[in-house]
Chain A
Amino acid sequence: MLISRRKQRILTIATYLILAGFTLYCLMPFLWMFVTSIKPDDQIRTLNPSFLVKQITFGHFDNVLNNSAFLTFFKNSLFIASVTTVAALLISIFAGYALSRFVRFKGVKLFGVAMMLSQMIPGVLLLIPLYLVMKNVSLINTYASLILAYTTFTVPLCTFMMKGFFDTIPYEMEESAEIDGASRVGIIFRILLPVSLPSLVSTSLFAFLNAWNEFMFGFVFINDESHRTLTPGVSLFKGLYQTDWGSMMAASVLSVLPIVLIFIFLQRFLVEGMTAGAVKG
């Protein structure tokens, strides 16, 4: 026994209290979004706001799904975020491996520093330069523009996560395979990656989430509705003088819910993956 019975009980109660507090803190804005989305218009912005819904309506969901291009936005976001995730993952597996195994080379070290530096540039400043780059290669208003931009933004973090993970795998595992004549890529794909599924999952989730939630570039690079992504799409419900809160919240709920479900489903991997990567950092 590491701890006395009585103390154990106090600790358990404290734990539940703390978790209840966190649940309230985390959930409240989301619940507010949900409650708003099922309220009729005249009960949304009132002087006595309340979490209780007197009268449930699904009119806002109907409006979002049938009178707006929400489903197109959803499909676009799904496509862009998925391709970004795959691309970022592939690139960062190799880059992370290099950072983990070959830091002894000056070039590789320098590359690590450059990746770090790239995180320090405020995104707002890149808006116009990147727009120009994209325009010069005629990518404005294509999925490719966003995929390229998001991949660039996520690769550094993914690389560091993969590096952290590879650091925890002893080099001996590779050596024996190398003696058997396996190539480096073969080693990575046949020996390292199979034991690192959780890390791959958690890295992918980061990449996916980043691409899914990005707003500014999604708006600036895309000109037409058939290519627009979710976050900019949802904000269309905000007019110049008036915001359609019910519909906006319904759209938000619809765009957040799938991600929350994926996260709940995959969260075991998430923590495991971070365990592998983060400890040695």
Chain B
Amino acid sequence: MLTLREKRARRIAIAFIVPALLFFLLLNAFPLGQVLWDSFQLKNLLNKAENGFAGLANYAEVVKAEYFMTALKNTVIWTVLSVAGEYALGLVSAIALNQNVIGRTIFRGIIIIPWVVPIVIAGMTWTWMLTPDYGILNIWMVKLGIIDQPYYWLGELNTALLTVVFVNIWRSFPFFTISLLAGLQSVSRDMIEAAAIDGAGVRRRFWHIVLPQLKTVSLTIIFIHIIWTAVNFDFIWVMTEGGPLHSSETLPIMIYRYAMQEYNFGQASALASMMLGFMVAGFVLYYFYATRKNRG
């Protein structure tokens, strides 16, 4: 039995989450339910003659699709490399900004810029700068002797995805910088000084005192960015549309093709449900791993 106080607290709790819940139910849960439902239906807008319950047929079709494995692999590469790169750059820039440097305010302001440029504009600008014949980056790289002749970064099978990853890192790392900088500023000065007195060097102090204190921030931002990056669509679409020959196609691009180019909402929904499943499974596994490790 709950006490009176607890009952009251529960009522307050419910009242507090209701507005957010309403938004969620109306504009997230309802469409999501639709997606799950559609994934088991034959729903091709171009072929309305075929409809009704499909069982697992949509899932089977999607998995059999020629470039499904490529897209799955690309999604993993895209997500892991992007988040790893963003974290590395975010950490380095946060440490640099945490020093007592002149013009810190300006540097901080500059580092935030990539994050406020709309993706569509950023994508088009980068595409232009990276082009072989009239793009400034290629011309600079040739002049500096980094490459012999202009290279079509977005047009070759083996570099297209990596190039978009590079641009995506550019766009997202400022979020890491700000979060990690915040974390660094709350690292206790006393502990560092105590360690210094005990004779710990700079490197040791960083690895053993500073980094552990950043663990929670890091896990939070990595977690949220894994999700955001995996479902990201805009950058790849603006820069390569998934090409050449599907070499930069990720699952969201594939979902878009099914939905908006083939109008096959059944299969688009099946793929989206599957992707959702993969992510949930990944996080559940991680959760159990983490709790077991904590207990041990």
Interface residues of A (CB under 8 A from B): 2-3, 7, 11-12, 15-16, 18-19, 22-23, 25-30, 32-33, 45-51, 90-92, 94-95, 97-99, 101-102, 105, 107-108, 111, 114-130, 133, 148-149, 151-152, 155-157, 159-160, 164, 184, 209, 212-213, 215-216, 230-231, 234-235, 238, 243, 245, 248-249, 252, 255-256, 259-260, 263-264, 267-268, 270-281
25 contacting pairs across A/B (C-beta < 8 A): A19-B96, A29-B170, A30-B114, A32-B129, A49-B135, A94-B17, A94-B19, A105-B10, A120-B227, A122-B275, A123-B231, A123-B233, A125-B31, A128-B259, A129-B30, A164-B220, A215-B120, A263-B116, A267-B109, A268-B105, A270-B178, A271-B108, A272-B182, A274-B181, A275-B182
Given A26-B114, A209-B115, check contact A47 B134 (CB 8 Å). yes
Taking CB atoms, residues of chain B closer than 8 Å to A209 are 115-116
* Option from A235, A243, A279 in Cβ contact (under 8 Å) with B217: A279
B27 sits at the interface (CB 8 A): yes
Taking CB atoms, residues of chain A closer than 8 Å to B210 are none
B182 and A3 form a contact (CB under 8 A) = no
* Option from B28, B113, B129 in Cβ contact (under 8 Å) with A121: B28
Chain A, residue nearest B256 (CB):
A124
A155 and B134 form a contact (CB under 8 A) = no
A124 and B260 form a contact (CB under 8 A) = yes
Given A29-B114, A129-B35, check contact A102 B134 (CB 8 Å). no
A-contacting 9-mer, from B55-63, B66-74, B185-193: B185-193
B136 sits at the interface (CB 8 A): yes
A129 and B112 form a contact (CB under 8 A) = no
Taking CB atoms, residues of chain A closer than 8 Å to B29 are 114, 118
B112 and A263 form a contact (CB under 8 A) = yes
* Option from A107, A121, A249 in Cβ contact (under 8 Å) with B272: A121
Given A48-B139, A121-B231, check contact A149 B99 (CB 8 Å). no
- Interface of chain B residues 98 through 124 with chain A (CB within 8 A): 99, 101, 105-122, 124
Taking CB atoms, residues of chain A closer than 8 Å to B135 are 49
- A7 CA / B205 CA spacing, docked (Å): 15
- A117 CA / B280 CA spacing, docked (Å): 8
A119 and B113 form a contact (CB under 8 A) = no
Closest 7 CB pairs of A and B: A274-B182, A264-B109, A129-B31, A102-B13, A275-B182, A281-B220, A95-B20
A281 and B217 form a contact (CB under 8 A) = yes
Given A29-B126, A133-B26, A279-B186, check contact A184 B12 (CB 8 Å). yes
Given A124-B252, A151-B23, check contact A27 B196 (CB 8 Å). no
Known contacts A94-B19, A213-B116, A274-B179, then 8 further A-B pairs from the complex at CB < 8 Å, ordered by chain A residue: A22-B107, A45-B134, A120-B231, A129-B34, A149-B27, A155-B20, A159-B20, A215-B120
Taking CB atoms, residues of chain B closer than 8 Å to A51 are 136
B279 sits at the interface (CB 8 A): yes
B121 and A50 form a contact (CB under 8 A) = no
| B86 → chain A closest CB, angstroms | 13
* Option from B34, B101, B216, B224 in Cβ contact (under 8 Å) with A19: B101
Taking CB atoms, residues of chain A closer than 8 Å to B149 are none
B21 sits at the interface (CB 8 A): yes
Chain B, residue nearest A264 (CB):
B109
Chain B interface size, as a band, is: 35 or more
Taking CB atoms, residues of chain B closer than 8 Å to A46 are 134
- Residue of B17, B217, B233, B252 with highest tally of chain A CB at under 10 A: B17
- A247 CA / B42 CA spacing, docked (Å): 46
A interface SS class: helix
Taking CB atoms, residues of chain B closer than 8 Å to A111 are 17, 20-21
| B2 → chain A closest CB, angstroms | 10
Chain B, residue nearest A155 (CB):
B20
* Option from B116, B121, B134, B224 in Cβ contact (under 8 Å) with A157: B224
B19 and A91 form a contact (CB under 8 A) = yes
Chain B, residue nearest A112 (CB):
B17
A256 and B116 form a contact (CB under 8 A) = yes
- Residue of A16, A121, A235 with highest tally of chain B CB at under 10 A: A121
| B191 → chain A closest CB, angstroms | 12
Taking CB atoms, residues of chain A closer than 8 Å to B24 are 114-115, 118, 152, 155-156
| A137 → chain B closest CB, angstroms | 9
Chain B, residue nearest A46 (CB):
B134
Given A215-B120, A255-B118, check contact A152 B23 (CB 8 Å). yes
Taking CB atoms, residues of chain A closer than 8 Å to B219 are 281
| A107 → chain B closest CB, angstroms | 7
B105 and A267 form a contact (CB under 8 A) = yes
* Option from A119, A148, A213, A249 in Cβ contact (under 8 Å) with B119: A213
